Amino acid sequence: MRITEIFMAFPFLLAALTMAAVIKSTYPQVQGIYVGMLALIIFAWMGYARLIRGDILSTKERDYVLAARTVGASDMRVLLRHVLPNAFYPTLVVASMDIGSIVISFVALSFLGLGAEEGYADWGQMISLARNWIPTLSTHWHIIVFPGGAIVLFVLSWNLVGDALRDILDPRLRGQGV
């Protein structure tokens, strides 16, 4: 976890920008959307690692895990049947809620020219190329509004999916009408 904390010391978007620039200049064979994907993956895993570690540490002390050990279940069975399934769901919910922020981060990388290459249909590139049309926004409003609206709807929909998953998978919320 110390390595995780070292990675978490860096601001996410700034670190991803720097990593994308380093990957793009150092490894020219990495092309397409892979530059942005690698930069985001390198600096986005820490929250998930901490969450899954905490959930596993919490779950392994629950009564049903202790009961499974008491009746003689092997460590592998306890891990695969009791600990991992119950520790996986909170991570799934957080991952579905984070998809929107990862997409916004990739849009930012593409807007700055460090995400996908030119020629890919990418929202960040569309908004970046539309910067030249901002003075004529009264007649060319659709050039910025449609990609921006698509980003907003995409992020909103994934947040709603994450919220629905949380409502379905969290047993404490069942029957409360929240």
Give the pLDDT of residue 175.
58
Nearest to 125 by CA among 105, 104, 107, 149: 107
In this structure, are residues 83 and 57 in contact, taking their beta carbons and an 8 Å threshold?
no
Q: Specify the pTM.
A: 0.79
Instruction: State the average pLDDT over residues 37-61.
Output: 89
Does residue 151 have a pLDDT over 90? yes
Nearest to 131 by CA among 116, 117, 148: 148
Say what percent of the chain tops pLDDT 70.
96
Q: Which residue has the tokens 């670190």?
A: 15
Does residue 156 have a pLDDT over 90? yes
Give 2-173's CATH code, choosing from 3.90.550.10, 1.10.10.10, 3.40.50.1860, 1.10.3720.10.
Answer: 1.10.3720.10
